Amino acid sequence: MKKLVLLLLVLLAATPAHADTPWTLVKSYPHDPKAFTEGLFYRDGTLYESTGHEGLSEIRQVRIRDGKILRRASIDSQFFGEGIVDWGDKIISLTWRHRRGFVWRLSDFTQTGEFPYDGEGWGLTQDGRQLIRSDGTAQLRFIDPETLVEQRQVTVTWDGKLVPLLNELEWVKGEILANVWYSNRIARIDPASGGVIDWIDLSPLAKQVGVLDQEAVLNGIAYDAQNDRLFVTGKYWPKVFEIKLRRD
Ligand SMILES: [Ca+2]
């Protein structure tokens, strides 16, 4: 019996501890430290960002190099702005608890429509065929981008356990990257099964920005597929970071 325990201990010791996906910092850029970032995506050379809080919620087009806001539109002050994503010549945006999303013209930020949905609105991304929405739980909802009607859901799990509080999302190379609220880690999710493939631990970046506000968590992922650039930021963070993942 003692031998068996010893053997088990040796085996456990020999099993490498789980290692998160390695990454390196490529560059950092200025970011509006007043932006309570709820959504982020890249399109044609610039970032698009949405911010939260009633009365302060906006859709923004942001120049990467210096963080200059090139275009902005306010969301009606009764709403708390959440995730955004582009679809063709449109931007789709969510609100937190009003179960109402908005459609905007990408070129000039004119609001052109709205749509209802179930549950809370948190993050939003798209995979080229469908929009993908998080709602603060472990569910991801796949939405028809034209009718804005939900088509299916997956439950996100890690090691057999639910991964709730999924927040800002980004579709990157066939995976869904998701911020997890109040965490400095990003989940790499298999869109078919909902299983977490691996984690990206960005706590060194959170430490580097050093914003003490409790709400100033990592939130915001944007991907420039053409140049393979991945951008991340956080609520009230003074910087947007470009990082490079090293995948196996
Ligand atoms: Ca995003």
Q: How far is the CA of 40 from the centre of ligand 1 (A)?
A: 4
Q: Is the pLDDT of residue 7 over 80?
A: no
Percent of the chain surpassing pLDDT 90: 90
Q: Is the pLDDT of residue 159 over 90?
A: yes
Decide: residue 156, CB within 10 A, 0-12 exposed, 13-18 middle, 19+ buried.
buried
Q: How far is the CA of 169 from the centre of ligand 1 (A)?
A: 5
Q: How far is the CA of 7 from the centre of ligand 1 (A)?
A: 46
Mean pLDDT score of the chain: 93
Q: Is the pLDDT of residue 248 over 60?
A: yes
Q: Is the pLDDT of residue 1 over 60?
A: no
Q: Is the pLDDT of residue 16 over 50?
A: no
Model confidence, pTM: 0.92
> In this predicted model, what pLDDT tens digit does every residue of 33-64 receive, in sequence order?
999 999 999 999 999 999 999 999 999 999 99
Q: How far is the CA of 48 from the centre of ligand 1 (A)?
A: 9
| Closest to 220 (Cα-Cα) out of 34, 35, 39 | 39
CA distance 235 to 180: 13
Q: How far is the CA of 173 from the centre of ligand 1 (A)?
A: 13
Answer for the pair 155, 194: CB distance below 8 angstroms, yes or no: yes
Q: How far is the CA of 159 from the centre of ligand 1 (A)?
A: 25
HSE-up of residue 79 (Cα within 13 Å, Cβ side) = 25
CA distance 137 to 120: 9
Q: How far is the CA of 193 from the centre of ligand 1 (A)?
A: 20
Q: Is the pLDDT of residue 12 over 70?
A: no
| Dihedral in degrees, nearest 10, Cα atoms 159, 248, 44, 56 | 30
Q: How far is the CA of 191 from the centre of ligand 1 (A)?
A: 15
> In this predicted model, what pLDDT tens digit does every residue of 65-93 receive, in sequence order?
999 999 999 999 999 999 999 999 999 99
Per-residue pLDDT band for 14 (boundaries 50, 70, 90) equals very low
Q: Which residues keep their CB under 5 angstroms from ion ligand 1?
A: 40-41, 170, 221
Q: Is the pLDDT of residue 147 over 60?
A: yes
Q: How far is the CA of 38 from the centre of ligand 1 (A)?
A: 9
Q: How far is the CA of 13 from the centre of ligand 1 (A)?
A: 38
pLDDT score of 212: 86
Q: Which residue has the higher pLDDT, 15 or 157?
A: 157
Q: Is the pLDDT of residue 186 over 70?
A: yes
pLDDT score of 15: 46
Give the tokens for residue 96: 């937190």
Q: How far is the CA of 124 from the centre of ligand 1 (A)?
A: 7
